[in-house]
Structure 1
Amino acid sequence: MRIGTWNLAGRWSDAHLALLLEADCDVWLLTEVNERSSLPGYALHLTQSRMAARRRWAGIASRLPMASLPDPHPASAAAQVGATTYVSSILPWKGCQSRAPWTGTKHADKTAHAVDDLLLHLRAADVLVWGGDWNHAISGKEYAGSLGGRTVVLDAVDQLGLAVPTADLPHPIEDLLSIDHVAVPRGTATTASRILAEHDGKRLSDHDAYVVEVFTTSVVE
């Protein structure tokens, strides 16, 4: 089972499609999804809310049978694939404003409000895979989020019984760690890798793509 995540930065082209298909993922947890996006052989479910014109906050693409679920937060998409609930989220970034879908003044408060809303729904999942653009590194220097926000995210991961195989993968900016993640049930055997989001020497997004391969068939299917 291969699960990927990529922030598309609202862009779409044949090169974006080629990267997604060549990664050979069964499920993609996508963020900043252009409404023109289409993956042959995949069902695609997007958030109801728009981040900007023609750009949805998040989406889930699956080449396995998938049932769409209600958005657990305006910036998160959810779907059921087999026995597993998949959730793709954007969490608040350091410069986001105090307006919908974010609540609070300080960044850590905005993160806490968003994560609390998500936990109300995510705790009910029998088997959960949660990922997307969390805007936080799991360790090391914090660039996109805040240390207070990171504490909130790590606490949620712990409450949900998850592990984050993408935690030690690099960010496109040198000396930083990824803020895009895939979290799976703790104890799941995995490998994680980064895919450079480039084509002909040009960036396809300011985010790279990340793929987690799951080997424990009884946990995630």
Structure 2
Amino acid sequence: MWPRRSDSRAGPPASGPSVAARRFRRVDSTGKAGDDALLIGTWNVQGRWSPAHRTTLQRHECDVWLLTEVSDDLELPGYHAYRSAALMASRRRWSAVLTRDPVQQLADPHPASAAIAMDDATYCASILPWRSCGSRAPWVGQRHADKTAAAVSTLDAALPPGPLVWGGDWNHALIGKEYSGSLGGRSAITQLLARRRLRVPTSDLPHQIDGLLSIDHIAVDHDVRVARAERFTAAGLSDHDGYLVETDPTLR
């Protein structure tokens, strides 16, 4: 496992109930989440940061953000940012997890991932290999499928057992045509999902490019109730749209 990178620029505490308090909520009998439902978001911000990026994140008011391609300039009032140690490019981290309350950052389970422990669950943001990523660090292997399998295996070995929320830019559609990753890479991902008993509510949501399905995902425990999963558009800010999953982790 790789060493954690502490972040000294966490935002001030948010007003209102803590994320921990918001974990103890239920979706009502109609399937609609209450006001305090836990909202998780993922977005590849493409290493950019501007007032428009900040406004986009603030507008969705997520309890947890699983971000990828994160600028070192990113600061979001009311959130604490836990970044991966490794640089993807100059002043750009592979991944970060943002929470409203200070939490325990875990050692990076892979150089392109960041992870935190909150209550009884692990939250992990990851980038997985894309077709043209090459074989330089942090990727291991020659074929794309081999690089994805190696990254997934490293994550599986490093992430703690127990409840897991895993998201980020996986560079794979999970159903239909595979246009960014490989079918072998998809198989490695789905095998990990099965071993960890995770499901992916974002798998059938659209990509920013018409006619394609998302390669950015959020996976939650198979038995957790999901109130909604949706995309938000981010054209002009990133070449990826963002994705939201509203879930009640206490419903098993």
So what's the TM-score if we normalise by structure 1? 0.94
The structure-2 alpha-carbon separation of the partners of 1:48 and 1:79, relative to structure 1 and needing over 3 Å to count, comes to: same
Tell me whether 1:209 sits opposite 2:242 in the alignment. yes
Residue 127 (structure 1) aligned with residue 163 (structure 2): yes
CA contact (8 A) 2:130 2:181 kept: yes
Counterpart position of 2:93: 56
Larger Rg: 2
Structure 1 or 2: more strand by fraction: 1
Indicate if the aligned counterparts of 2:224 and 2:251 stay in contact, CA closer than 8 A.
no
Q: Aligned in 2, Cα 1:216/1:60: closer, same or farther, shift over 3 Å?
A: closer
Residue pair 2:96, 2:125 contacting (<8 A) in 1 also: yes
Work out whether 1:80 is the aligned partner of 2:113.
no
Task: Provide, for residues 44-63 of structure 1, a one-character-per-residue CA deviation record: whole Å limited to 9, x for no partner.
Answer: 00010000000000000001
1:136 corresponds in structure 2 to 172
Please give the alpha-carbon distance, in whole angstroms, between the structure 2 residues aligned to 1:16 and 1:55: 15
Contact 1:65-1:82 at 8 Å conserved across structures: no
Amino acid at match of 2:60: A
CA distance in 1, matches of 2:60, 2:88: 26
Displacement of 1:189 after TM fit? Answer: 1.2
Which residue, 144, 159, 162 being the options, matches 2:198? 162
1:93 aligns with 2:93: no
8 A contact 2:225–2:251 mirrored in 1: no
Name the SS of the counterpart of 2:93 in structure 1. Answer: strand
Runs of 4+ in 1 over 6 A off after TM superposition: none
Deviations 1:28-86 (A, max 9, x none): 00000000000100000001000000000000000133211100000000001221100
Distance in 1 (CA, whole Å) between partners of 2:190 and 2:106 is 25
* 2:44 alignment counterpart: 7
Alignment match of 1:22 (pick from 59, 72, 95)? 59
Q: CA RMSD in A?
A: 1.0
Instruction: Identify the residue that residue 75 of structure 2 maps to in structure 1.
Output: 38
In the TM superposition, residue 103 of structure 1 has moved relative to its aligned partner by 0.6
Using the alignment, how far apart are the partners of 1:120 and 1:86 within structure 2? 15
Q: Percent identity?
A: 54
Match of 1:151 among 187, 207, 212: 187
Could you tell me how far apart the structure 2 residues matched to 1:109 and 1:28 are?
Answer: 28
Task: Report the residue type matching 2:223 in the other structure.
Answer: G
Q: Measure the CA separation in 1 of the matches of 2:187 and 2:212.
A: 18
Give a deviation string over 1:172-218, Cα, whole Å, max 9, x none. 111110000000000211110100014xxxx1000000000003435
Q: How many residues align?
A: 214
Q: Does the 8 Å contact 2:115/2:124 carry over to 1?
A: yes
Q: Secondary structure at the match of 2:97?
A: strand
> With structure 2 as the length reference, what TM-score do the two structures score?
0.83
Question: Matches of 2:223 and 2:104 in 1, distance apart?
Answer: 26
Offset, 1:137: 0.4
Q: 1:145 is aligned with what amino acid? A: G
Structure 2: where are the runs of 5+ without partners? 1-37
- One-letter amino acid matched to 1:166: T
